[in-house]
Each structure stands twice: as C-alpha cells, then as structure tokens.
Amino acid sequence: MEATSDPSVPAGWRRSAPGRLELVREFVNTADLAEGTDELDGLDGLRAWLRERALVDPGDRLAPGDLQRALAVREALRDLLENRSGGSLDEAAVRALNAAGAGALLRVAFDRHGTPQPEPVAGGLDGALGELFAIIHSAAVEGTWDRLKVCADDGCRWAFYDHSRNRSRSWCKMASCGNRAKARSYRRRHSAAGGRQPAQPAS
C-alpha cells in the first residue's frame, strides 16, 4: 500500500509527511489493517522499530508491558486522527494519550539557532513516546499537524498526509479506498430509496 512509485497517484497526493512528522505517520502505520500485518508483533519488533529510527538508545531496555503501552498510544493516535476525515473527536483517545504523556516527560531546550524546542527527558519507551509527542507539538505550531489524517475507509484507516490545497482529502488512495467508500454510500442511498441493489463497481 505504501509504494511511492504508484503511477495512479498524482505527485501532489504523495503520502509522506514533512520532516519528522513522518515518524508519527510511520508509527500509526506499523499496523496495516487492510493487509492484517503488524510490525510491532512483539517486544522484539517494537524494540527493532524504535532503534531503527533512533527513538531509543541501544542500551535502553523495554519492559514487558511496554508493548501494550505502545500499541495503546498507536491506536489512540489513529482514533484521534480519524475525526480529520469526517469522524468525531474520540474522547477515549484523548484520555489515553494524556495518560501516556504523563510518563513522557518533556523539557524545553534551545537548538543551535536559539530556537526553543520540546525534547524528551526520560529514556526507554517513555523517551520514545516523548519524542513523538514533541514532534506532534512542533507540527501543531507549524500548522502541519492538522493535515495528518487516517483514511476514511473503515477497512483501511491508513495514516496519510493531506497535501491538497484545501485539505479536502478523505482517503489515502482514491483509486481504491475512495471508490469503495463511494460505492458503499451509493448502495446505502439506493437501498434506502427502495431501489434495486446495484452491482458493485470495479475498483
């Protein structure tokens, strides 16, 4: 799903997020709901994913409960982003993220340009989550956070960055998810009107 060479996707619809916000998008997409795969399929998978992205130090240890905590944050982020595609704000997701943020301590540090930036204080998973939360905070200040969404197709829910001018994208790929969603909506309207059930259009 994530191949960037897909010729059916216009250049302006590329699915990567700008700068380090891409890390947050990648984190949400460690679970591919359409394919039924999960990069974080165990503590070793979580450790490898975090180390590959320098979110934990090689000597940092993860506790057995860290996998469940990471998955809870991932799914809370996915639920939070869903309201960008027409859903309603999930209050349970907000509570879960606030609870996770309590351990992901941040401080303000000044970079080499003298610009204040939030950075994590803790190590291990708390430090990794703190880094993701710091990225989200910076993206909110820069105005890019609101463009991170999840696909409105319930069977997909893939995180994508909306590069459209009017921020109107609802699906990660119109050719597949968008067409399926429109076909389902059409069938529901047709059925409610008492018409004959139409054949499903080819994706």
Measured CA to CA, the distance from residue 73 to residue 69 in angstroms comes to 6
- Residue 150 is which amino acid? V
**Does 160 share its domain with 189?**
no
Residue 180 located in a structural domain:
yes
Instruction: Please give the DSSP secondary-structure letter assigned to residue 177.
Output: I
Q: Where are the beta strands (DSSP E) in the chain?
A: 31-32, 37-38, 106-110, 116-120, 148-150, 159-161
pLDDT higher than threshold 90 for residue 180: no
**Does 160 share its domain with 177?**
no
Task: Return mean pLDDT, the chain.
Answer: 83
**Does 181 share its domain with 161?**
no
**Does 46 share its domain with 130?**
yes
Residue pLDDT, tens place only, 91-142: 999 999 999 988 888 999 998 999 898 999 889 999 999 999 999 999 999 9
Instruction: Please give the DSSP secondary-structure letter assigned to residue 11.
Output: G
Residue pLDDT, tens place only, 69-83: 999 999 999 999 987
- CA 165 → CA 136, 147, 161, 175, distances in Å? 21, 10, 12, 19
**Does 180 share its domain with 99?**
no
Residue pLDDT, tens place only, 47-64: 999 999 999 998 899 998
At 76 the pLDDT is 96
